[in-house]
Chain A
Amino acid sequence: MVAVWKGAALAAALVLGGWGSATAMELRIGLAAEPSSADPHYHNLTPNNAVARHVFEALVDMDEVQTMKPGLAESWKTLDDTTWEFSLRKDVKFHDGSPFTADDVLFSFNRVPNVPKSPSPKTAYVRGKVIEKIDDHTIRIRTARPDALMLNSLAQIEIMSAKAAASASTEDLNAGRGTVGTGPYQFVEFVPGDRLVVKRNDAYWRGREPWEKVTFRFIKSDPTRVAALLSGDVDVIETVPTADAQRLAKEPKVALASALSNRVIYLHMDRLRETSPFVKSKDGSAIKNPFHNLKVRQALTRAINRPAIVERIMEGEAVPASQLLPDVYAGTSKNLKPVAYDLEAARKLLAEAGYPNGFRLTIHGPNGRYTNDTKIIEAVAQMFTRLGVETTVETLPPAVFFSRASSGGPDKTPEFSMILAGWSAGTGEPGDSMRSLLMSFDPQAGTGSANRGRYSNPQFDQLIQKGFATVDAAKRAEIFASAAEVVMNDVGLIPIHYQKNTWAAKKGLKVTPRTDEYTFAMSVRP
């Protein structure tokens, strides 16, 4: 027994030396969401993509405002509308010392659609692209139709080493076998449920990072994450809870950094049916679906007091929305402003539409999927009720909500009359958002995939199609901006606000906030 205790004491002494306080150049980051894998192609999920970008890089880089920058490809040009040529960097080496060449790009493109049991593959980003090696540092990509989002898609494909990852399965990559990229950090270990550790790549082609070692800790509980920062367990946290942001701003030990995000919170209205299941007259009888009437839609959007929601519910961590993406992005319309709150005008519109006494409505939404989602729906319901549209709220667990909202009705139609949801423009431009949320639902063409209101407007559809066929970026932005005006003036959906992304770091660290919700050690500087 005595021997055991001596052994324990010795072990304690040994361990204490190496643990305890962090070394000077170690960065510890508290993440709110945990990646499901260290395989960059396995699961197209924000936390997965964010940690993958430390180890792996793509041909094209997105900077903190999602502008396309050269990554592993130093330049590119279009030979014609459907052929792109990329020159690859010649000075890049993988972590194992082997040089980066066109073969690695071909290997990675080939790997993306072939990851077994992938819960959400990145296949869509490589589909329709025929890739060809011209020489070791030049590749050509051909598409059947002009692909305006070529660069945005390429920014999502992490390049893996053809040599190191040739036969690596997802499990191998989780264990660090073949987890070899060209990025600023090298993979060290991934302990699911606890942490992911990377160390500096001293030979990084852009120059060395300041942090020798970066540890991502997964701390899902909001108050605990804040406490971990305040107690010094971690140096930086992401997703600062809205309730704590104002208090943390006053805390002398902490500095906040926040940026407008690419995520919009909006309401979709049922535009599919002639009578909508969750809309009734005040006496409970069935009525014609009022959402087909433009004046009703205008009345509803006017009845929402966006500044109040932003200030009271989001505690300033949001900005009133006028369209699907903040107008700092190319392709958005500067002419669109958030619809001003005007209850009198809204009542008048509702009366003109033939509903002087309003009607009854149930809004459905997820609970816990978006920041304060339930509270937002409750606030909107109260505002609608004030307008005369007696509104009840039903929130559901996200898994149930999205399944029913997408295909819970007869013949796999959307089940609800009005839903609240959010959309994050991962591509960094509004075309994909408009195509997914508002173009006519067509599973074959892949349009309207998240159009759970089944809004359909031929004029708008044409504009979006034209936009996607336009490779010239400036012209495309103009077309998308006019499409946004068409659809927002028609109230195709009701935008509420854009979320802000907020990071908190201990004083002395500088965090460059990003619009795409990715938390990077590369954004943190001492």
Chain B
Amino acid sequence: MIAFIIRRVGQALAVILVMTVLVFFGTHVIGDPVWMMVPGDATQEQVEQVRREFGFDQPAHRQFLAFLRDIAQGDFGRSYVHGGPAFALILERMPATLELAFAALLMAVVLGIPLGLYAGLNPEAAPARAIMAGSILGFSLPTFWVGLMLIMLFSVMLGWLPATGRGPTVSVFGIETSMLSLEGWRHLLLPALNLALLKVSLVIRLTRSGAREAALQDYVKFARAKGLSRRRIVGVHILKNILIPIVTVLGLEFGSLVAFSVVTETIFAWPGMGKLLLEAIQRLDRPLIVAYVMVVVMLFVTINLIVDILYSALDPRVRLTGDTA
């Protein structure tokens, strides 16, 4: 177990290094950030001054070495635009994004599993067909469009929910969260639903196919023959056996919820790190982009690790050893 974790951390560091190199030189190719910083009427002299101040006048590999040197000293770079340490800026925004992703995940589980189970156990029923048709829509509608429609319907036309932003936050164990108040949830509901829609559809489909397969298994027939209640057969025997793929997928999807909440955050003006990333890319704020990528890679690695550990809890056949994982 320990060896397994150490190996994973080693892999993670290698991935982070490779990503950093890619992003660093990638953004270098895109353009010269100085033009996104100076005003339109800046003189050549001013442009050169800003270039020198930020070290853009150095060749790319020099800049990269300086960047690595700073990292070795624990300095992950400062945002060109905001001036603050890039890592701190991202971590500051992280609770908002995690909260959004968590709420979306919760919706995916709470809505997706029961609906999927129903559709899997009664494949021919009309509501089941409706659920499956709905899940196709959930898969194929673009997030930004659905987000705008949600705002139009629930905020502009019905006036039930606010269109933008995050509600009031309360500090719990040092983490700012808006999930402890009704107003917070009112703000959270639409963006979380928008982000969750695709995941709900995914969970419905996974659960349904799992349930259909499991329902025909011998152990289910046996349980039924034994006279167990339907509730127990579904709740214990079927559900427990189809959870593994769902947990795996949800684990991975949680990472993507966090990393790709960019669109939802922008549409709902949600003050999370996705919105920060988008602005950083537009302004070519390289330290911020690099730091974001580092954070996301670490997040994925951590989630994969947790998923692997959860496996072993759910399925006793899975053993975590250094060489098989």
Question: What are 25 pairs between A and B in contact, CB < 8 Å?
Answer: A15-B168, A15-B180, A15-B181, A19-B167, A42-B83, A119-B54, A119-B81, A120-B37, A120-B42, A120-B50, A121-B50, A123-B49, A193-B271, A194-B165, A217-B164, A217-B165, A218-B269, A227-B156, A227-B164, A230-B163, A231-B163, A401-B31, A402-B36, A422-B40, A446-B43
The segment out of A181-189, A286-294, A392-400, A504-512 that lies at the interface is: A392-400
B-contact 0/1 string along A394-425, CB 8 Å cutoff: 00011111111010000000000000001110
Report A's interface with B, CB cutoff 8 A: 8, 11-12, 15-16, 18-20, 30, 34, 36-37, 42-45, 117-121, 123-124, 170-171, 174, 191-195, 217-221, 223-224, 227-228, 230-234, 368, 397-404, 406, 422-424, 426, 432, 436, 443, 446, 449-450
Q: Contact check, A171 vs B84: say whether CB atoms are below 8 A apart.
A: yes
Shortest distance from the beta carbon of A227 to any chain B beta carbon, whole Å: 5
Interface size class of B (residues with CB under 8 A): 35 or more
Q: Which of B2-42 contact A (CB under 8 A)?
A: 30-42
A223 to B164, CA, bound (A): 11
B325 in contact (CB, < 8 A):
no
Q: Contact check, A228 vs B168: say whether CB atoms are below 8 A apart.
A: no
| Residues of chain B contacted by A124 (CB below 8 angstroms) | 42-43, 46
Q: Contact check, A228 vs B164: say whether CB atoms are below 8 A apart.
A: yes
| Residues of chain B contacted by A443 (CB below 8 angstroms) | 43-45
Q: Which of B90-113 contact A (CB under 8 A)?
A: 92-93
| Residues of chain A contacted by B156 (CB below 8 angstroms) | 227, 230-231
The segment out of B131-139, B147-155, B217-225, B306-314 that lies at the interface is: B147-155
Q: Contact check, B31 vs A8: say whether CB atoms are below 8 A apart.
A: no
A401 to B182, CA, bound (A): 46
Q: Contact check, A15 vs B183: say whether CB atoms are below 8 A apart.
A: yes
Choose one: B39, B151, B166; the contact of A224 (CB below 8 Å). Answer: B151
| Residues of chain B contacted by A228 (CB below 8 angstroms) | 155, 163-164, 269
3 nearest interchain CB pairs? A194-B271, A399-B31, A119-B37
B82 in contact (CB, < 8 A):
yes
A403 to B152, CA, bound (A): 39
B170 in contact (CB, < 8 A):
yes
| Residues of chain A contacted by B44 (CB below 8 angstroms) | 443, 446, 449
| Residues of chain B contacted by A37 (CB below 8 angstroms) | 82-83
Q: Contact check, A403 vs B31: say whether CB atoms are below 8 A apart.
A: yes
A-contact 0/1 string along B36-66, CB 8 Å cutoff: 1111111111100110011000000000000
Most buried by B among A123, A192, A195, A432: A192
Q: Contact check, A219 vs B164: say whether CB atoms are below 8 A apart.
A: yes
A287 to B159, CA, bound (A): 62
The segment out of B244-252, B275-283, B294-302 that lies at the interface is: B275-283
Q: Contact check, A19 vs B168: say whether CB atoms are below 8 A apart.
A: yes
| Residues of chain B contacted by A121 (CB below 8 angstroms) | 46, 49-50
| Residues of chain A contacted by B32 (CB below 8 angstroms) | 399, 403
Report B's interface with A, CB cutoff 8 A: 30-46, 49-50, 53-54, 78, 80-84, 89, 92-93, 148, 151-152, 155-156, 159, 162-168, 170, 180-184, 266-269, 271-272, 275-276, 279, 282-284
12 further A-B pairs in the complex, CB-CB below 8 A; given A220-B279, A446-B45: A15-B184, A37-B82, A170-B83, A171-B83, A193-B271, A221-B269, A227-B164, A233-B155, A398-B36, A399-B31, A403-B35, A443-B43
Shortest distance from the beta carbon of B35 to any chain A beta carbon, whole Å: 4
| Residues of chain B contacted by A16 (CB below 8 angstroms) | 181-183
Most buried by A among B31, B54, B166: B31
Shortest distance from the beta carbon of A153 to any chain B beta carbon, whole Å: 12
Choose one: A117, A123, A220; the contact of B83 (CB below 8 Å). Answer: A117
A124 to B50, CA, bound (A): 13
Shortest distance from the beta carbon of B23 to any chain A beta carbon, whole Å: 15
Asked if A191 meets B163 with Cβ closer than 8 Å, knowing A124-B46, A399-B284, the reply is no
Shortest distance from the beta carbon of A200 to any chain B beta carbon, whole Å: 22
| Residues of chain B contacted by A398 (CB below 8 angstroms) | 35-36, 282
Nearest chain A residue, comparing its CB with the CB of B83 = A170
Q: Contact check, A399 vs B33: say whether CB atoms are below 8 A apart.
A: yes
A45 to B49, CA, bound (A): 17
A403 to B269, CA, bound (A): 30
| Residues of chain B contacted by A174 (CB below 8 angstroms) | 84
Q: Contact check, B31 vs A400: say whether CB atoms are below 8 A apart.
A: yes
Q: Contact check, A36 vs B81: say whether CB atoms are below 8 A apart.
A: yes
Q: Contact check, A119 vs B38: say whether CB atoms are below 8 A apart.
A: yes
Q: Contact check, A192 vs B182: say whether CB atoms are below 8 A apart.
A: no
Asked if A220 meets B31 with Cβ closer than 8 Å, knowing A119-B50, A423-B40, the reply is no
Q: Contact check, B89 vs A192: say whether CB atoms are below 8 A apart.
A: yes
Q: Contact check, B40 vs A450: say whether CB atoms are below 8 A apart.
A: yes
Q: Contact check, B46 vs A224: say whether CB atoms are below 8 A apart.
A: no
